[in-house]
Structure 1
Amino acid sequence: MKRALLGADEAFGPDRMPPPWPGRMAVIDGEQLFVRDTPATRPDAQPALYVHGLGGSSQNWTDLSDLLADRLDGQAVDLPGFGRSDPARHYTLKAFADRMIRYIEVSDRGPVHLFGNSLGGAVVVRVAGLRPDLVRTLTLISPAMPFLDPRRSLQGPVVPLLALPRADRLAAWMMARYAPEEMAEQVIAACFNDVTRVSEQRRKEAIEEIMVRYEKAHYADAYVRTLRGLVSSFLRAYLPGANSMWKIAGQITAPTLVVGGRQDRLVDVRVPPTVARAIPDSRLLILDGVGHVAQMEVPRIVARGVAALLDEYEHASR
C-alpha cells in the first residue's frame, strides 16, 4: 500500500453539471440490464465500467464519468433488482460479480477500468480477484468489505430484522411511510457528509430515482436479500475457504485506488485502509469532510486520484 497521488486539477476544466447519461437495456443471458453510456471525448479512450452501491443506481456515477470522459469510455450499470434492471434469482456478491463478468464478456470491451462504490466495491473486488484478465485498473470508493461492528454503520439497527421471514414486507411498509422527497433527503443525509454539496438538480434527480424504486414491486425484496447476502459475506470472510473476501482481495493484480471518506456513516472508516493493505498494488486516498459517496460529493478530487492511477498504468504499460 502507498499513498495515492492526485492529478492536476486544471486538467479537468471548469465545473459543469451534466444531466444523467442516456440509458439502454442490454440483454445478458436472457435478462435485461440497464446501462448508461458516457461517450468518450477522445478516440484513444479506454473502456470503463462503473458499479453502484446498495440502493443506488447508475446515476451515482454521472459526474465522475463526465470528468473522466477524455480518458475513459464509460458504462455504468444498474445491478439486477436495482434502478431499471430486471430482478434476479439470487442477490449475493457471487451472483452480482458473475453478472458483471458476463456483461464484460458479452459486451466484448474487456479488459476494463473497473469502479465500485459500497456494495459495488465488494462486487468488483470479487471480479478483479477472480478474473484479472478482465481488469486494467480498479477503483474502490468506500467498498463494503467485511467489518463486524454494526454500531459503526447507520444500517446496523436493520441487521437483526434480516432474520425475519418476511423482512421484505416490513421494508416495503417502511418505504411506503415516506414520500419520495422525504426518502431522498434521508438517503442524501446518510450518504453525504456535507449535504450543501448536493445541488437542486441532483436533489430532483434523486427524487426521480426514488420514484422508480416505488414503482418496482421487487425492489424491497431485492434490497433485503442483497443486504442479507452482504452480511453473510462479512461472516464468511473470517472463515477458511476460497469465498473469503479478504482472500479474494489478496489475489488482485490490477493497480488499485482505494478511496474512503473520513465521515462515512455507512462503512466503517477503518475498512478502506484495511482493503488497501490487503490488495498488493494499492494506493490509499482518505478524504476529510467526505461521506460514503465521494464520487458524488467531491467528484473532482476523486477524478484527480483516478487520473494519477491511469498515468501510472499507462506508464507501466509502455
Structure 2
Amino acid sequence: MESNGVVTGAAVPIGVQEWPARTVPVAGVDLLVRDIPDAAKDLPPALFVHGLGGSSLNWTTLGLLLNDTVRGIAPDLPGFGRTPPLPGLGGINQQADVLEELMDSEFDQPLHLFGNSMGGAVAVTLAARRPDRVKSLTLISPALPHPRASVTTLWFLALATPRLGSTVLDRSRRIPFDRRLKASISMIYGNPGALPPEVLEAHEAELRRRDAEAWEPLPTVEGARSLVRSSLAPPRRSLWADAARITCPVLLIYGGRDRLVDARIRTKAQRVFPNARSLYLPQSGHVAQMEHPQEVERAFRQLIS
C-alpha cells in the first residue's frame, strides 16, 4: 500500500519499504526523521545513526525487523539524505550536538543507540557525553581511529585537505555514473551479487538523488575532515577515551569484507569498551545491517535479553 508517499506492505520487499518521514527543527536545521512503522508507543525508544554519505534509508530492514522490540527513529544527519547542512561545521561533535537535542526532544527515557561507520563515531561521542540517556549501544563498522594506514585513510586525508578535498570529489563526480555506481557498490557491500535486486536499485536511486543536491560535496568533505581530526586527537580526548567511559552494554559488529573499516580493530574495541560483546560476519561489508540484517537483529536481541 502507499500512504502519504510512503510505500509499505507485504507486497513490497522489506529492504525497500520506506518508513514514514517528518521534519523536526533541530539546532537551526530542518532535520528529516523517519519513524519505524507499526511500532507500539509503549516500546523502549531507539535512535539509528547512519554513516558518511548514507541516510536514514540505511536502517530500513533492521528497523522493520525490530518493530516489535523498539519504537525507533532514524534521522538524515545534516548535509546527508534529505536534510540540509548545518550553518557551520558538520563534523562528529556537531552531529552529536544535533542528535543530543533530537534525543531530548523526542524521548523522555533512555534509548537503544545504533551507529554505522561515521555514525558509529557520533554514537560513541553521544553515549560518552550522556550515559544517563543510552541504554545500549550497537556499533556496526564504527569509524574509530585505527593505527594502520590504508587506502581508505589516504582517501580521507585527501578529502580532508583544504581545496584538495572538493577538487577530488568534483573530479569523481565527472566520472560516468555507471562507473561510480559500480565503485560505490563494491566499496560498501561485501558481496553485492547476493543482495536482492531491489536493494541495489534503491542504492542507485539514492546515489542519483544525492548527485542532484545543491549542497554536495561540502558535507562529505567536512565529515572526512572530522574523521581525520579524530584520528589525530591526543589520547585523553580521543574516541577511544570516550569508548572507555561507556558502561552500558555494547554490541560491536564487523564485516570480514569491509573495505572501509579494518575488522582487525575489533580486538582492541572489545578490550576498550568495558561491557562489550562482538559479532564478526566474514561475508559482510561495511553495512552489515543491510547485508545481514537477520544476524544483526538476532545479536541485538541477545544483547538486551
**TM-score higher than 0.5:** yes
Displacement of 1:92 in angstroms is 1.7
- How does 1:200-239 map onto structure 2 within 5 Å? 200-236=197-233, 239=234
Counterparts of 1:148 and 1:219, CA distance in 2: 30
Residue 187 (structure 1) aligned to one of 184, 201, 210: 184
How far is 1:118 from its partner?
0.5
Deviates further, 46-55 or 24-33: 24-33
- How much does 1:166 deviate? 4.9
What residue is the counterpart of 2:149 in the other structure?
Answer: 150
In structure 1, C-alpha distance between the alignment counterparts of 2:97 and 2:143, rounded to whole Å: 18
Q: What CA deviation, in whole Å up to 9, does each residue of 1:132-183 have, x standing for no partner?
A: 11111110001000013232x545345235324252243123113232x443
Q: Name 1:125's counterpart in structure 2.
A: 124
Match of 2:170 in 1: 172
Report if aligned partners of 1:267, 1:292 keep a CA contact under 8 Å in 2. yes
Q: What is the identity percentage for the equivalent residue pairs of Structure 1 and Structure 2? A: 37
For 1:110 and 1:212, the matched residues in 2 are separated by 35
Kindly state the Cα deviation for residue 257 of structure 1 after the two structures are TM-superposed. 0.5
Q: What letter is aligned with 1:218?
A: W
Assess if the C-alpha contact under 8 Å between 1:169 and 1:220 holds in 2.
no
1:23 to 21, 39, 53: 21
Select which of 241, 260, 263 maps to 1:247: 241
Farther-moved stretch of structure 1 (158-167 vs 198-207)? 158-167
1:81 corresponds in structure 2 to 79
**Is residue 2:102 matched to residue 1:103?**
yes
**Residues 25 and 19 of structure 1: is their aligned pair in 2 closer, same or farther, counting only changes over 3 Å?**
same
1:19-67 alpha-carbon deviations (Å, 9 max, x no partner): 1212221111331111111134445421110000111111000000011
Instruction: Quote how far apart the aligned CAs of 1:79 are.
Output: 0.9
Alignment partners' CA distance in 2, 1:41 and 1:32: 24
Q: Find the aligned partners of 1:291 and 1:170 in 2 and give their Cα distance.
A: 24
Write the deviation string for residues 257-309 of structure 1: whole angstroms up to 9, x where unpaired. Answer: 11111221101112223222111111111111111111001000000000111
SS at match of 1:270: helix
**1:110: Cα distance to partner?**
3.8
Is the CA contact (8 Å cut-off) linking 2:253 and 2:279 kept in structure 1?
A: yes
Change (3 A) 1:129 1:202: same
RMSD (Å), alpha carbons: 1.8
**Partner SS for 1:219:** coil
Amino acid at match of 1:140: L
| Preserved contact between residue 154 and residue 190 of structure 1 (Cα < 8 Å) | no
User: CA 1:144–1:42 in structure 2 vs 1: closer, same or farther (change >3 Å)?
Assistant: same
**Alignment correspondent of 1:62:** 60
In structure 1, list runs of 5 or more residues that go unmatched: 1-14, 312-318
User: Is 1:46 paired with 2:54?
Assistant: no
Identify the match of residue 271 of structure 1 among 261, 265, 276. 265
Q: Provide the C-alpha distance between the structure 1 equivalents of 2:77 and 2:70, rounded to a whole number of angstroms.
A: 21
Match of 2:304 in 1: 310
Structure 2 distance, partners of 1:43, 1:54, is 30
AA aligned opposite 1:209: E
- CA shift, 1:16, in A, is 4.4
Q: Give distance in 1, aligned partners of 2:37 and 2:270.
A: 30
* 1:271-310 correspondence runs (5 A): 271-310=265-304
Q: Which amino acid aligns with 1:64?
A: L
C-alpha distance in 1 between matches for 2:242 and 2:279: 21
Secondary structure class of the residue paired with 1:56: coil
Q: Aligned AA for 1:225? A: E
Q: For the Cα contact (< 8 Å) 2:16–2:202, is it kept in 1?
A: no
**Structure-2 change in CA distance of 1:29 and 1:258 (3 Å):** same
Report the 3-state secondary structure (helix = DSSP H, G, I; strand = E; otherwise coil) of the residue aligned with 1:249: helix
Give TM-score, length-normalised by structure 1.
Answer: 0.86
> SS of 2:263's equivalent?
coil
Deviates more, 1:187-196 or 1:51-60: 187-196
Unaligned residue ranges in structure 2 (runs of 5+): 1-12
> How many Å separate the matches in 2 of 1:57 and 1:169?
23
Q: Higher relative contact order by CA 8 Å / sep ≥ 6: 1 or 2?
A: 1
The Cα of 1:122 is off from its aligned counterpart by 0.6
C-alpha deviation, 1:128, in angstroms: 0.6
Count of aligned positions: 292
SS of alignment partner, residue 210 of structure 1 = helix
